[in-house]
Structure 1
Amino acid sequence: MNQLNLDPVSVAIAVAGLLFGPALAGVIGPYAVIIMACTVGAGWALGRRDPAARLSAAWYFLRLNATAVIVTVSLAQLAGRWIGGEDHSWLLAPIALIVGGVGDDWPHVGQWLLQRAGSILERRAGGGGGSA
């Protein structure tokens, strides 16, 4: 019996195959999922923005979608290796959703990650407070 794959990437590849042919479906399908997931996340992030800034919503969506297209595949591959799976395509949608959902708060996420890394290094080095 054939197993039916209904994950977003498989469905997008099937639809892209109908629209663009099988040669392009393997490329267009995953990136369509990335753009759709990032757009949903960006919609959530847009709700946190200043209402006066809503005039620039199109630029906001374009910027976040371009960022997701650039970084999502690499992040999915890294996460897939870390998890230990061979197929990382199922990670494309959640990672793109997170990229869009974080929105303009990436500098805060970077600061948080640096603080976490610093505290881990500090604990491994034997604590932070020394005697004077």
Structure 2
Amino acid sequence: MAIFFMIIAFIFYLYLFIAWALAVVVSVVEESCYGIEALRRATVLVEGRRLHGFLLIICSNFVAFIISQGYKMLLGDKGFMNPTINVLFSVSVSILVKIFLVVAYTVLCLECKKHGREERELYGSLEYTKEPTHDN
């Protein structure tokens, strides 16, 4: 029963983590938006696309799990005799998954903006302006 509650709590945590992870991207992508304001903005942006973000986290955790289990299966119970190599492999896989997630959340943020009809803000103004010329 305790394992069941732990699994439910973990899924709930991942579901809530979507807005938090998107807030990190929003604070970098948008000017003058940081802290709690970025979290509010991310919560508004992810409205209607929360399932996409949730599936993104689930799939990335599943891929990391498969890679780590495949590593253990290939090397057996002993693994490499040097534990430093085991730690180095684990950290490398973790970093690669995090880099993938940051890129994927950036794409999700842009898709949420496009879905929310914020294309003018996303791509800027489409008006032509005359550039000043200097005659020498």
TM-score, normalised by the number of residues in structure 2: 0.34
Larger Rg: 2
TM-score, normalised by the number of residues in structure 1: 0.34
